[in-house]
Amino acid sequence: MENNINKISSDELSLESVRESLISQEDTIVFTLIERAKFPFNSPTYDDDPSSSCVLSGSLVQFIVKETEILHAKVGRYTSPEEHPFFPDDLPPPLTPPHNYPQVLYPAAASVNINDTIWKMYFDKLLPLFAADGDDGNYGSTAECDLKCLQALSRRIHYGKFVAEVKFRDAPEDYGPAIRAQDRDALMKLLTFESVEEMVKSRVEKKAMTFGQEVTLNDKEEKVKYKVDPAIVSRLYGEWVMPLTKFVQVEYLLRRLS
């Protein structure tokens, strides 16, 4: 993957390189939302109590995510510091040879996984905002699209660990006292850049307009239509993606000196 942090050794880590990766991940998030929006809401995908004729113990989407994670664990996906499973319990060990990822993050980073929060945000808040009402029966494909959205959001939000590491290395004299005092508010203040956040919101809105524009050959078409409402993508970032990324940054920093 382009801009993959694993190409960057610990010494080359910079706020610029990490922000570049976040920008590239915006494309993935916008594309995965566009793919999910091709299906209506399809509520049976999320039914926790499927009919007795169904042998699944949870919803179809839980089943798809869990089983995919089992497969991906076997090929070592979760040994990467960028990847976090939604169902971490009882995952099998990798069958593939270990990959030597550069040790960029402080080891305590491994304990930060907020996928439960991301799961709830996606299904309770985001999905109802952009999936059209209706049921076309394509539940498996719908769940597959949800999986892709969840993975892209999780990767982006947990990238906060790399952002936090860079910010700490750039100014240990500022972060150190706040970490030692375990002062969340001070850390949040230090790591927040409101002007960057405004730029991110505008850029993702523009990406949703550019990538999700309905293309027609009719030049007289007056109103351009979008596959996912660009304002919803901007809201997704403003209300959830960036606050959760900052939450990950704070959680990481609180453990940075322990």
Which residue ranges make up the site for ligand ISJ (CB under 6 A)?
Answer: 19, 22, 163, 191-193, 196-197, 200, 242, 245-246
Let me know: does 64 contact 50? Beta carbons within 8 Å. no
Rg value, the chain, Cα: 20
The upper half-sphere exposure of residue 152, i.e. CA atoms within 13 Å in the direction of its Cβ, equals 24
Nearer to ligand ISJ, 101 or 193 (CB): 193
Closest approach, Cβ 74 to ligand ISJ, in A, equals 32
Q: Rounded to whole angstroms, how far apart are CA atoms 110 and 105?
A: 9
Closest approach, Cβ 39 to ligand ISJ, in A, equals 28
Nearer to ligand ISJ, 131 or 187 (CB): 187
Nearer to ligand ISJ, 77 or 155 (CB): 155
Nearer to ligand ISJ, 62 or 245 (CB): 245
Q: Rounded to whole angstroms, how far apart are CA atoms 164 and 148?
A: 25
Closest approach, Cβ 258 to ligand ISJ, in A, equals 22
Residue 170 token pair: 């750039």
Q: Rounded to whole angstroms, how far apart are CA atoms 133 and 128?
A: 9
Closest approach, Cβ 5 to ligand ISJ, in A, equals 13
Give the closest residue to 247 by CA, choosing from 181, 170, 171, 156: 156
